[in-house]
Amino acid sequence: MSNEAGRTRVWRPDWPCSVGRMLLYRRRGAGDPTYHLDEAGRHWRGIRTPEGPATLVVGARPDDGEVLAEAWGPGATWALDSVPGLLGADDDPSGFEPRHPVLEEAMRRHGPVRIGRSGLVMESLVPAILEQKVTGQEAFAGFRMLVHRYGEHAPVPGPGGRRLWVQPTPERLRTIPSWEWLRMHVDPARSRTLVRAAAVADALERTAVLPHEEADRRLRSLPGIGVWTSAEVRQRAHGDPDAVSFGDYHVAKDIGWALTGTPFDDAELEEFLEPWRPHRGRVQALVGLAGLHRPRRGARMAPRTHFPATVTRRT
């Protein structure tokens, strides 16, 4: 259905769907210029679809069991068509067994975990690369600068609309000179990976419809994209329920602490999660939903003020 402000869609999921839980996971920090949560609890997103940029706003109607979505711009129809998948309709959690009292309690409180898929690989890959082996503060600041300097305003629904932004096009990413990346606090290792990814963006986008193992293989065939980055992208763009963020500073330690009382390293986590394959990512998601993490006793990592010549980084 269309109106003078754009296009709308009403969708009724056949399970208790938490719009906030499914969409807030996609926000890159509180200052994400491509995301806004308004006073009514609606989620506004500036996205670049295969048909062009779009503004998408999604809100819940819990009393009616409905989701109301509105969209504007050249990609509006594509954006509305993507809403069910974004909220987990393409996912099947029925084969997942919690097999642990902590996970059983988390499921009792939060319900079965659904894994959403955006179908937009570069949308998730660009911020994931920026987040490689840096503090969240530094990564989110770099993402804001990149979007504001090289992205574009999202289609805005009227003069009172939200001033959202859309990420830069792959073509624009390829033209950013090396010194401009440094001004955005993005070191050469990450900027090279971003430029390489932008050069094959069309091929990367096609992985969204591939089997998850093949998508992982193709993503990791690109230098600079490793296990962690591939998992972060597949969790969001592909809806892969088996994607686990191995290599993350906190994930293995927190899951180990939550489920056994002892922090894990990556090898221990991989062995421990094997019985849950192909739903290992749901274990990570449930532990996160339950807010379970080991006590943080150490000092926070400070943002870097310079870039060393060689850095060992998570990819």
Residues of the chain with pLDDT > 90, as a percent, come to 81
Q: Are strands 35-37 and 43-49 parallel, antiparallel or unpaired?
A: antiparallel
Bridge partners of residue 55, in order along the sequence: 46, 72
- Check pLDDT > 60 for residue 299: no
pLDDT band at 56 (very low <50, low <70, confident <90, very high): very high
CA nearest to 67, candidates 86, 50, 54, 49: 86
Q: What value does the mean pLDDT take over residues 158-185?
A: 89
Q: What pLDDT score does 156 carry?
A: 80
Contact 40, 31 (CB under 8 A): no
Average pLDDT on 28-34 reads 94
CB half-sphere exposure, 131, CA atoms < 13 A: 20
Instruction: Answer whether residue 301 shows pLDDT above 70.
Output: no
Residue range 238-249: mean pLDDT, rounded: 96
First to last CA, the chain: 43
Residue with tokens 């996609």: 26
Amino acid 64 reads: D
Alpha helices in 67-133 (DSSP H): 76-81, 83-86, 101-110, 121-130
pLDDT (tens digit per residue) in 74-103: 999 999 999 999 999 999 998 999 999 999
Q: Is 293 helix (H, G, I), strand (E, B) or coil?
A: coil
Residue-range domains of the chain with CATH? 2-90 (3.30.310), 91-115+244-295 (no CATH), 121-151+168-237 (1.10.340.30)
pLDDT higher for 65 or 214?
A: 214
Lowest mean pLDDT among 131-140, 170-179, 202-211, 287-296: 287-296
Q: Residue 308 has what pLDDT?
A: 44
Confidence of residue 312 (pLDDT cuts 50, 70, 90): very low
The pLDDT, as a whole number, for residue 135 is 87
SS3 7: strand
Confidence band of 300 (pLDDT split at 50, 70, 90)? low
pLDDT of the residue at 276: 97
| Confidence band for 313, pLDDT divided at 50, 70 and 90 | very low
Can you give the pLDDT at residue 296? Answer: 67
Strand, helix or coil for residue 57: strand
CA–CA distances in Å: residue 193 to residues 99, 178, 186 = 39, 12, 11
Which residues make beta-bridge pairs with 11? 67
Instruction: Assign 112 a pLDDT band (cuts: 50, 70, 90).
Output: confident
pLDDT value for 309: 38
- Higher pLDDT among residues 162 and 165, named by residue: 165
198's enclosing H/E stretch is helix 188-199
Identify the pLDDT of residue 158. Answer: 64
Residue (of 270, 241, 211) closest to 95 by Cα position? 241
0.75 surpassed by pTM? yes
By the 8 A CB rule, do 80 and 107 touch?
no
Burial of 29 (0-12, 13-18, 19+ CB in 10 A): middle
